[in-house]
Structure 1
Amino acid sequence: MKKTLYKANTRGHANHGWLNAYHSFSFANYFDPQRMNFGVLRVLNDDTIAPGMGFGKHPHDNMEIITIPLSGDLEHEDSMGNKEVIREGDVQSMSAGTGIMHSEYNKNLNKELKLLQIWLMPKERNVTPTYDQISLKLEDRKNKFQQIVSPNKNDAGVTINQDAWFNITEMDEGKTLEYKLHNPENGVYAFVLEGDVSINEEKLNRRDALGIEEVDTLNIVADTSTKLLLMEIPMTLN
C-alpha cells in the first residue's frame, strides 16, 4: 500500500475578493511541480463565490468536469444549450471533449456559494461534448456510500468519460465503513469535507486528503461526525 497525505493547510490559496479558492493541485497562478495531479485527477478546487458573482463565459476541451455544490445555488449556462441551477445535493458533470463554452454564477444575491470543482483527464479525447446533472437524497448517504459519479450510463450518479467512481458519505462518530475498489489497479483520493476520520489507520482532519494506491480495500472509521468524498480513479492514462 502506498499513501500520500495532503494536509489542508498545504493547499494553494488565492483570494480574489469575489472568489476565495483553495487548490489541491497546480491551478492558475498556483504552481507546485510536486502537485500536478494524482493519477487522472488534475484539479480539485474548493471555492467560495461571493453573492451574484462568478465565472463569465470561458472554454474547456478534453476534460471531465464535475461540480458539487456544498451550499448555495450555482447558475450554469453552456454552448450545448443547457441552462440549469445546481444546488446542494445535486451533482453536475460535463465531458468537454471537442470543446464547450460555459459560465457559472452564484445565483443568490444575499449569500455565498460554496462548491467543489473537480477535473479528470478523459479516457477518450475529442469526444462529442455531453452534460449530465442529478439530484440526490442527502439521507441516502447516512453511514453508507452514495455513488455520485460513474462511467456507466445505467449506474448511479452522473456519467463521465473515464473509468472513475465517486462516492460520498456522512458518518456518525464511531461508525465504520469498508470501501472495495472496482479495480485494484486504481487509486483513491479521499477528501474530508467535514470532521475527523481514519482511513487505513491514517488520521485525517477537515479538508485533509489522502491519496492511496496499491490497495483493494479501504477501512474507514469516523473519529467524529464526518463527511467524506472518495474518488476512485485510474492512476495512468490509457
Structure 2
Amino acid sequence: MIIHRTAGQAGSADYGWLQAKYAFSFGHYFDPAFLGYSPLKALNQEVLAPGAGFQPKSYPDVDIVNLILRGKHDIHDNDGLYLESRQDECLFFSPRKDISYTETNPCEQSPLTRIQIWLKAARGSLRGSPQKLMLTQQPVQLIASPDGENGSIDLQQGVRISHLMLPAGESLTLPLYGKRAFYQSVHGTVTADDGQKQGIIECGDGAFIQESREVTFQAQTTCRTLLIDILT
C-alpha cells in the first residue's frame, strides 16, 4: 500500500539563511501524526545561503546521513573533528551526545543544498567512525545498508537507502526487503505502483509504502529520488 504525502503537506521553514522542508516533525515544525517512521527520525531537504551555518549544537541519539546535492558542507566539533563534503558526496557520521557540532556552508559565493537523514542510533555501532561515498548517475545505487553491501555505507542496522536517477520514460522495479519503506522525491515526477495502489508522486513529495513486496517507478520526467527500505 502506498500512502502519498505531498510537499505542501510536509513541514517547512524559511529563515532567510536557511530554507528547509521537513518530512517529519523537526525543530519548530511539529505534527503529532508525523514523529518519524520506525528508525527513520528525520528527513530534511535544506538550502543554506552562502557562508551560512548552524549554531554549535549537540545531537540526540541518532546516526546521520548527509547527501550533498550542490555546494560544499563542513562539520566541526569541539573535540577536533573536521569533516568536509562536496557536491555528489554522501557522508555518514554518528555524533556523540557529549560533543558540540557546527555545520556550515564554507562557500561565500554559492548555496549549499543537501538532504539530511536521521536514523535512531544503531546499538553497538562504532561511534565516531565517519564513512563517505560518491553518488553516481546510475538508475539505482545502494548508498547505505545493514552491512556495507556492495561498498555502501555500513549502517549496522536494518535499513537500506537507495538513490534513484531515472530519465523521463524509464521504469524501474525494486524489491522491498522489509514491511515498510519511505520514498522521497528530490525532483521530478514518477508514477509509483506496488500492485495494490498506483499514484503520481511529484517534486518534493513523500510516500509511505507498507506491506509491499516490490514497487515499480515510472518516470514521467527526469527524476531523482530516495527509497528507504526499513527491514525491522
Tell me the TM-score normalized by structure 1: 0.88
- Seen in structure 2, the aligned counterparts of structure 1 residues 155 and 97 have a Cα distance that, compared at 3 Å, is farther
Match of 1:89 in 2: 88
Match of 1:205 in 2: 202
Matched, 1:192 2:185: yes
Matched, 1:102 2:101: yes
- The Cα offsets for residues 105-154 of structure 1, whole Å up to 9 and x where unpaired, read as 001001111111111113427x5523323232523x2xx21111112145
User: Structure 1 CA distance, aligned partners of 2:205 and 2:47?
Assistant: 17
- Seen in structure 2, the aligned counterparts of structure 1 residues 216 and 99 have a Cα distance that, compared at 3 Å, is farther
Match of 1:8 in 2: 7
The one of 147, 152, 158 equivalent to 1:157 is 152
Match of 2:53 in 1: 54
Match of 1:180 in 2: 175
Q: How many correspondences in the alignment?
A: 228
Residue type at the aligned position of 1:20: Q
Alignment partner of 1:34: what SS?
coil
| Residues 18 and 47 in structure 2, CA contact (< 8 A), matched pair in contact too | yes
- The alignment yields a C-alpha RMSD, in angstroms, of 1.9
Matched, 1:19 2:14: no
Q: Identity of counterpart residues, as a percentage?
A: 25
Q: How far off its partner does 1:79 sit? A: 5.1
User: Structure 2 CA distance, aligned partners of 1:106 and 1:98?
Assistant: 23
The one of 118, 130, 139 equivalent to 2:128 is 130
| Residues 99 and 129 in structure 1, CA contact (< 8 A), matched pair in contact too | no
Match of 1:226 in 2: 223
- Seen in structure 2, the aligned counterparts of structure 1 residues 81 and 128 have a Cα distance that, compared at 3 Å, is farther
- Seen in structure 2, the aligned counterparts of structure 1 residues 121 and 227 have a Cα distance that, compared at 3 Å, is same
User: Structure 2 CA distance, aligned partners of 1:38 and 1:105?
Assistant: 28
Match of 1:114 in 2: 113
Q: How far off its partner does 1:3 sit? A: 2.2
The runs of 4+ residues in structure 1 deviating greater than 4 Å are none
Q: How far off its partner does 1:229 sit? A: 0.9
User: Structure 1 CA distance, aligned partners of 2:90 and 2:76?
Assistant: 15
Bigger mean CA offset, 204-213 vs 10-19 = 10-19
- Seen in structure 2, the aligned counterparts of structure 1 residues 6 and 90 have a Cα distance that, compared at 3 Å, is same
Structure 2: gaps (5+ residues) = none
| Residues 6 and 209 in structure 1, CA contact (< 8 A), matched pair in contact too | yes
| Residues 93 and 128 in structure 2, CA contact (< 8 A), matched pair in contact too | yes
- The Cα offsets for residues 53-80 of structure 1, whole Å up to 9 and x where unpaired, read as 1113211242111111111100112356
Tell me the TM-score normalized by structure 2: 0.90
Match of 1:148 in 2: 143
